[in-house]
Amino acid sequence: MGRTRDDVVTIVHHDSEESIYVRSNKDGPGSYSRVLVYSIGIDKIKALTNASKHCRQEISWQCAGTGFHFDSDKPFSWWVSWDGKPQYIWGGAKKNNTCGCAETGCRNPNHTCNCDDVPRFEWNKDEGYLQDKETLPVSEVRFGYTFRTGQYGYHRIGPLECLGNAVESNEKCTNTTRYMKCNTGHYVPITYRCRYEFDPYGYHLGCRDVTHLRHCESFVCPEDYVKCPESYCIPTIYVCDDGKMGLHDFSFNRLDLLKADFSKFWTLGELILQYNYLTTLPPKKIQASDKSVQAVMDLSHNRLTFIAASAFAGLTNVRLLVLENNPTITEIEPEAFSDHSNLPTFKNLENDNIAKVESGAFVGLHSVTVLDIKGNDIVDFTSYIFTGLKSLEYLYSDSYTFCCMASNQVPLDNCLPPTR
């Protein structure tokens, strides 16, 4: 009695919660690796962390003769966030490049981790809770220099623990400066304002209708972001290696791709073509002077009617292709994505009103592991609909029929149609 939603703790377990002995068969930073396998998929875990007010995960390294040395050019050990990024911070710490003892007092005041000062054959420990839910859960731990005599350790990573409700009521959101309102009526954290960025699953961070990217002419970008001329901010990783912007935003221009000429652009690191009322994609039209689009091609929120064979011919370097919210797409022809063998993980065709998918439509998508075809009314297809998706691991659809058809590629536990 008297308990609230903030009192409820959701725990997600994994296969490496016990204390595990660490010795490596080679020397060097991060030479030992342990990948954590969770009891549910990462998409469900991130849905949990996003909906929770607080999340934490205990992490411990009991060490002998080896440490972290986060402040060096090549740290010895680290952990990896859910999206594959190395994290140079340990349990209980409040600042990067430190361990928890930096807050309470380390064995040696000249170090920020106890293990950085422990000699061989002598034990010490760094442990505590990681509490940044944007980076949790821990997906992997890496430990280095556990090869020589007297260098070893034990790691222990606890389950993910989440509690509370991060989604405030509309009344609370309306009366706070922490949220902004999208045109759809939804509220998102104000930190997403004027940030053009995608999560690893191909979704915009912020408003799904991208209204958080409007009126950004005078917006000052946060650290590690670059300002597009009189526009929004992009992460520095979206900037080309030579320091020139590879991002070109031609949204809201009603472009005619039959007449458009992209050859004058030296590089198209990222090409954004939202809200242009595009109906067709002429093959091999979107090419820069040296190479094709290098990272992201965003064709969401248009009026594409069908995806023709070889529609993306020549765009072999695209790492993220966004096609969601094209409600007039009705058909995907064979080999429409034939040049996309490098597309790494995700094909988002959500809410595109697709009715027909021909056999071999996904041929060429050898590296795609996640396919989202929710929000479509696919009624015309054959048993070869998923041919070509050699690496497919997860399937999101509106029908159990597709789970059965993909059962040779996707385990039933990883096929996620609507809840009955």
pLDDT, tens only, 275-327 = 888 888 777 666 544 445 556 778 888 888 878 787 777 677 776 777 877 88
- Cα–Cα distance between 420 and 416 in angstroms, integer? 11
* Under 8 Å between Cβ of 112 and 71: yes
Which residues are within 8 A (CB) of 401 and not within 5 positions of it... i.e. 6 or more apart?
Answer: none
- Cα–Cα distance between 404 and 391 in angstroms, integer? 17
Nearest to 62 by CA among 201, 200, 202, 156: 156
* Under 8 Å between Cβ of 190 and 179: yes
Nearest to 401 by CA among 335, 347, 370, 357: 357
The structure tokens listed for 282 are 């002429």
- Cα–Cα distance between 212 and 49 in angstroms, integer? 22
Mapped onto helix, strand or coil, the DSSP state of residue 306 is: strand
- To which residue do tokens 């396998």 refer? 37
**Is 0.75 surpassed by the pTM of this model?**
no
pLDDT in tens, the chain (420 residues): 444 555 678 999 998 999 899 988 788 889 899 999 998 888 888 888 888 889 999 999 999 999 999 988 889 999 999 989 999 999 999 999 999 999 989 989 899 999 998 888 888 999 999 999 999 999 999 999 988 888 889 999 999 999 987 655 455 555 567 888 888 777 788 888 999 887 655 667 888 778 898 889 899 998 888 887 778 888 876 665 444 445 577 787 788 877 777 666 655 667 788 888 888 877 766 654 444 555 677 888 888 887 878 777 767 777 677 787 788 888 788 877 776 666 655 556 766 678 888 887 887 787 788 788 887 788 888 888 888 888 888 888 878 888 888 888 888 878 876 544
- Cα–Cα distance between 212 and 224 in angstroms, integer? 19
- Cα–Cα distance between 19 and 101 in angstroms, integer? 21
* Under 8 Å between Cβ of 354 and 328: no
Which residues are within 8 A (CB) of 289 and not within 5 positions of it... i.e. 6 or more apart?
Answer: 263, 264, 265, 266, 267
Burial class of 343 by CB neighbour count within 10 A (0 to 12, 13 to 18, 19+): buried
Burial class of 290 by CB neighbour count within 10 A (0 to 12, 13 to 18, 19+): exposed
Mapped onto helix, strand or coil, the DSSP state of residue 6 is: helix
How far is C-alpha 354 from the geometric centre of its chain's CA atoms?
25
Nearest to 227 by CA among 196, 203, 191, 182: 196
Nearest to 59 by CA among 126, 153, 110, 144: 126
Planar angle of CA 112, 117, 123, nearest 5 degrees: 115
